[in-house]
């Protein structure tokens, strides 16, 4: 219930702040569950992903530190968020999304790079897709990269690529995963060029603590 309520509120707030977003290729979204994967470019791109694919609902991983705040923990628990230890992820980082994809009506959002400060893809999304028997949908976000920039009313666009289906008989070798990851990267590049042929994203430097 809270998920649907917050989605309406957030959609309205973003419209007031930044205007109407553009969503491309929604026909590529399957009817069943799936995994949205994309390059992680800003802390709010998962919000735009989820809004673009509405009315589908999503679960998502959030770093465990966020759950230390009781207010944030309450919200995350009610919008299908679950904690992950980025330093020591453990088997639950695979088992939890697989279970949700198999046994609920929730799709999931995964950023294969795991961070806004890298474009190196990790294999978790491929493993989860194979085990849950769901397709991977390449997705990209172009638009403001900071909350302050949202008020500039810069155009925001989310584009969905064609589904990538993982053969359940495929061996999860490093070589096979690299092939799928290369396919995802190619899809991201194609979608970026569809939105803006001159688009170029620069990975930000990570601030030292």
pLDDT in tens, 127-183: 999 999 999 999 999 999 998 999 998 999 999 999 999 988 889 888 998 899 999
Strand, coil or helix: what is 59? strand
Above 90 in pLDDT, residue 112? Answer: no
Confidence (pTM): 0.89
């Amino acid at each position: 219930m809270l998920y649907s309520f917050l989605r309406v509120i957030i959609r309205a707030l973003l419209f007031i702040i930044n205007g109407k977003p553009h969503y491309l290729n929604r026909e590529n979204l399957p009817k069943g569950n799936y995994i949205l994967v994309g390059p992680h470019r800003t802390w709010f791109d998962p919000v735009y992903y989820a809004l673009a694919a509405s009315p589908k609902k999503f679960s998502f991983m959030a770093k465990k530190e966020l759950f230390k705040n009781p207010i944030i923990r309450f919200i995350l628990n009610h919008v299908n968020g679950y904690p992950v230890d980025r330093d020591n992820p453990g088997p639950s980082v695979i088992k939890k999304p697989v279970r949700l994809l198999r046994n609920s009506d929730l799709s999931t959002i995964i950023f294969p790079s795991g961070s806004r400060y890298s474009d190196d893809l990790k294999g978790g999304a491929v493993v989860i897709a194979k085990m849950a028997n769901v397709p991977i949908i390449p997705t990209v976000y172009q638009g403001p990269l900071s909350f302050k920039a949202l008020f500039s009313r810069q155009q925001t666009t989310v584009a969905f690529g064609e589904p990538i289906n993982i053969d359940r008989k495929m061996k999860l070798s490093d070589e096979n995963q690299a092939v799928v990851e290369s396919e995802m990267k190619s899809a991201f590049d194609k979608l970026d060029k569809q939105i803006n042929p001159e688009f170029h994203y620069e990975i930000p430097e990570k601030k030292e603590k």
